[in-house]
Amino acid sequence: MASTEMPSVSPAPTEGDSKQKQTLPAADIVVLVVYFLLILAVGIWSMWKTKRSTVNGYFLAGKNMSWWPVGTSLFASNVGSGHFIGLAGSGAASGIGTTAYEWNGMLMVLLLGWLFLPIYIASGVTTMPEYLQRRFGGKRIQIFIAVLYLFIYIFTKISVDMYAGAVFIQQALGWDIYLAVILLLVITALYTVAGGLAAVIYTDAAQTVIMLVGALTLMGFSFVEVGGWQAVFDGYSNAIPSVRDPNTTCGIPREDAFHLFRDPVTSDLPWPGVLLGMSIPSMWYWCSDQVIVQRSLAAKNLLHAKGGSLLASYLKVLPFFMMVLPGMISRILFPDEVGCADPEVCKEVCGNSVGCSDIAYAKLVMELLPSGLRGLMMAVMLAALMSSLTSIFNSSSTLFTMDLWRHFRRAASEWELMIVGRVFVLVLVVVSVLWIPLVQSSQGGQLFIYIQSISSYLQPPVSVVFIAGCFWRRTNEKGAFLGLVLGLLVGVLRMILDFIYPLPQCYETDNRPAVIKYIHYLYFSIILSLFTLAVVVCVSLATEKPREAQISRLTWFTRFDPVQSSEADRESGIFSLENRVHLENKKSNKNIEEHSKDPAGRAHAEKPVRSKLKSTLLWLCGMDQGSGEKAPPPPSEAVVCSLEEDPCLKHVVNANLIVCLSVAVFLFAYWA
């Protein structure tokens, strides 16, 4: 489930803490400067890798990415700064339970590569709402999904990762949180606007290396400090704070802290919910979320896309070791601070009376690491934050430009689409800054409830609609739209009830209504999915069948159908975005050429004069069209949508699939 899987971010420090301005040692400053220079160099280098002045080049990196940058970008887009803060905090508070979200993602990203991507590639789409529009016809479901995705991105993903990274910087440097946020947003927006998806993917690859090196280094220091693997098992159960109410369970570690599968009725993560309820929202994230799928669509071909999924799946093993276990070690080393159980003590430690488990990761960094390595870990947090933000910025820009702007501006030129896509990134930056006060007020457990509600109550209906559209030919637009709307209404209703009746703290009596008290959000995810599926099936069977054009190359069973190539199909939207834009630009260029001729029919020789400033800005954004040279025609639809795979490499990839699945099953079974 990924980006919505991590718990809350760190609460803001107290007023006293914020006044303590800190200065980094010279070694840490050098590490951070080197980090920023590296990212800047990678971003500039990537600008020359693709043609950024085209829709295909800007939004899909020219569909020319190899498996390794695709895989690292999938991982970096998923693992944001909220992961480091949230998963470590969850490990400190309740043990390894949330690792199930990470290892569930191992399986879901493989489903993307082997089941969903062949359909998306065959259909030739750029965005997920565009796929639904082609599959079901009409525009309402496309616009509805595009707006829903933007809502989820802006109000959960961007806000959580941005706030987590800014709080980490605030705790380390004592900076004002708004200053930290604005600086981070300016840097990320700069190379997202300038370089497009190619710059985002290549910088993600560099960020992944930095994250792995830094996080594994901290893990090593943590294990050395605590005394080894066995000391973690022995010490966690005894990590009880010195100040606690003896008549409550506050401050006492869970007995099932080292189990993934927990009691189906009384636990925080019941095992049936982990197996089924967790998988459905996770399938939305890994198999139909624009941020993730867009990276895979940028691959050279299906084999490279599958290779990227495999690499991301292997990397998903590591958060357990890099984040969850260090969080548990932090509680062992600092039980009174990280594991505080008294509201007054917690308020004094971290400014949040609910608990301070979310400071676990930052506490390790500041207490254990020597000068120089602290700078490396700050670079890790920045890498996690920037990789997530750039991915979301680029994908949100794609959704707004292709699914919303083109709906209202059907005759928009490719030049206009490029400008709109870049300007929307800047709009996102402004909205993100304005959203900070609300995120700041949603401290501790409240933000965790907020994020989990989004994932468990809004994502299952979307997952069901994509599954039905991809794997059941009889699904039609009415069934999909009604299932989506009714499912979301039910989900929002339960989400509102959760906000009205929040989960009580360990020292409070649980007086919530039975429907909330006894139906865990993972169980509700299952119920909501079954309800949505019933609506989709019943309405689809009771109404007309979808047309042949809504099925051909748009489902698993029709992905190998021959490519439609008639002009009627082009105009009706069967062909890829790049071809459609090229056709529209061809007409536009023809009109321009006619108007640029004198009465005798001769073309004017003069060229438009641009100022140096304008030319420089256009070059930085990859929109300098040069001296009027005509862009080469896009590749044929048959080439773009090809599902052909090299037989030898196909066997290698499939063998790795079996290995990766075996690793995931072993991990679940061992820690169950």
Question: Where residue 596 falls among pLDDT bands split at 50, 70, 90?
Answer: very low
631 within a domain of the structure (yes/no): no
CB contact at 8 A, 219 and 326: yes
pLDDT at 342: 83
Residue whose entry in the numeric block shows the structure tokens 């994908």 = 395
pLDDT at 564: 67
Q: Who's near 538: CB < 8 A, 6+ residues apart?
A: 479
Most confident of 202-206, 248-252, 337-341, 408-412: 337-341
**pLDDT tens digits, residue range 388-435?**
777 788 788 888 888 888 888 887 777 788 788 778 878 877 777 777
- pLDDT, averaged across the chain: 79
The C-alpha angle with vertex 393 and arms to 64 and 160, in degrees rounded to 5, equals 130
Q: Is the pLDDT of residue 220 over 60?
A: yes
CB-side neighbour CA atoms (13 Å) of 159: 24
Partners of 299 in the β-ladder: 65
Q: Determine the Cα–Cα distance for residues 605 and 595; give it in Å rounded to an integer.
A: 13
Q: Who's near 101: CB < 8 A, 6+ residues apart?
A: 1, 2, 5, 6, 278, 282
DSSP state of 519: S
630 within a domain of the structure (yes/no): no
More confident residue, 4 or 658: 658
pLDDT at 412: 77
pLDDT at 75: 92
Q: Who's near 606: CB < 8 A, 6+ residues apart?
A: none
pLDDT at 51: 57
**Amino acid found at 476:** N
pLDDT at 76: 86
311 within a domain of the structure (yes/no): yes
pLDDT at 54: 60
* Least confident among 91-105, 269-283, 552-566: 552-566
Q: According to the 3-state scheme, what is the secondary structure of 18-57?
A: HCCCCCCCHHHHHHHHHHHHHHHHHHHHHCCCCCCCCHHH
Q: Is the pLDDT of residue 191 over 90?
A: no
More confident residue, 61 or 504: 504
What average pLDDT score do residues 438-457 get?
58
Q: What is the DSSP string of 87-100?
A: HHHHHHHH-STTHH
pLDDT at 635: 47
CB contact at 8 A, 153 and 392: yes
Question: Where residue 358 falls among pLDDT bands split at 50, 70, 90?
Answer: confident
Look up the domain containing 249 and give its range. 2-550+645-671
The pair phi, psi for residue 87, each rounded to 5°, is -70, -40
CB contact at 8 A, 273 and 460: no
Q: Determine the Cα–Cα distance for residues 417 and 414; give it in Å rounded to an integer.
A: 5
615 within a domain of the structure (yes/no): no
pLDDT at 242: 86
The pair phi, psi for residue 299, each rounded to 5°, is -70, 155
**CA dihedral sign of residues 261, 263, 268, 273:** positive
Neighbouring C-beta atoms of residue 16, cutoff 10 Å? 9
CB contact at 8 A, 52 and 220: no
Q: Is the pLDDT of residue 119 over 90?
A: yes
Q: Is the pLDDT of residue 528 over 60?
A: yes
Tokens representing 466 are 């994509």
Question: Where residue 52 falls among pLDDT bands split at 50, 70, 90?
Answer: low
363 within a domain of the structure (yes/no): yes
Tokens representing 280 are 């459905």
What average pLDDT score do residues 235-248 get?
84
Question: Where residue 109 falls among pLDDT bands split at 50, 70, 90?
Answer: very high
Q: Is the pLDDT of residue 239 over 50?
A: yes
Percentage of the chain beyond pLDDT 70 is 76
595 within a domain of the structure (yes/no): no
Percentage of the chain beyond pLDDT 90 is 32
Question: Total structural domains in the chain?
Answer: 1
Which CATH number covers residue 33? 1.20.1730.10
Q: Kind and range of the H or E element at 346?
A: helix 343-350
Q: Is the pLDDT of residue 352 over 90?
A: no
Q: Determine the Cα–Cα distance for residues 18 and 177; give it in Å rounded to an integer.
A: 9
Q: Determine the Cα–Cα distance for residues 456 and 165; give it in Å rounded to an integer.
A: 25
* Least confident among 175-184, 300-309, 462-471, 561-570: 561-570
**pLDDT tens digits, residue range 281-293?**
899 999 999 889 9
CB-side neighbour CA atoms (13 Å) of 364: 35
What average pLDDT score do residues 59-68 get?
76
Q: Determine the Cα–Cα distance for residues 585 and 630; give it in Å rounded to an integer.
A: 11
491 within a domain of the structure (yes/no): yes
Q: Is the pLDDT of residue 567 over 50?
A: no
pLDDT at 614: 58
pLDDT at 112: 96
Q: Is the pLDDT of residue 364 over 80?
A: yes
What average pLDDT score do residues 143-164 get?
81
CB burial of residue 12 (10 Å; 0-12, 13-18, 19+): buried
Q: Is the pLDDT of residue 370 over 70?
A: yes
Q: Is the pLDDT of residue 474 over 90?
A: yes
Question: Where residue 22 falls among pLDDT bands split at 50, 70, 90?
Answer: low
Question: Where residue 568 falls among pLDDT bands split at 50, 70, 90?
Answer: very low
pLDDT at 345: 85
594 within a domain of the structure (yes/no): no
Does the predicted model carry a pTM greater than 0.75? yes
The total number of residues written for the chain in this structure: 672
Q: What is the DSSP string of 551-576?
A: TTTTSGGGTTSPPP-SHHHHHHT-S-
Question: Where residue 573 falls among pLDDT bands split at 50, 70, 90?
Answer: very low
Neighbouring C-beta atoms of residue 404, cutoff 10 Å? 18
Q: Kind and range of the H or E element at 520?
A: none
More confident residue, 300 or 245: 300
Partners of 603 in the β-ladder: 597
Which residue, 469, 465, 399, 414, is CA-closest to 123? 469
Q: Who's near 565: CB < 8 A, 6+ residues apart?
A: 637
Q: According to the 3-state scheme, what is the secondary structure of 208-240?
A: HHHHHHHHHHHHHHHHHHHCCHHHHHHHHCCCC
What average pLDDT score do residues 481-494 get?
94
pLDDT at 653: 95
Residue whose entry in the numeric block shows the structure tokens 């939207």 = 573
- Chain centroid to CA 612: 38
Question: Where residue 23 falls among pLDDT bands split at 50, 70, 90?
Answer: low
Q: 604's torsion region: left (phi>0), alpha (psi -120 to 50) or beta?
A: beta
**pLDDT tens digits, residue range 498-526?**
878 877 777 778 888 888 888 888 999 99
What average pLDDT score do residues 639-646 get?
73
Question: Where residue 593 falls among pLDDT bands split at 50, 70, 90?
Answer: very low
**Amino acid found at 29:** I
Question: Where residue 18 falls among pLDDT bands split at 50, 70, 90?
Answer: very low
Q: Is the pLDDT of residue 450 over 70?
A: no
3-state SS assignment for residue 129: helix
pLDDT at 177: 66
User: Can you state the percent helix, strand and coil of the chain, rounding each to 5?
Assistant: 70, 0, 30
Q: Determine the Cα–Cα distance for residues 500 and 656; give it in Å rounded to an integer.
A: 47
Q: Is the pLDDT of residue 161 over 90?
A: no
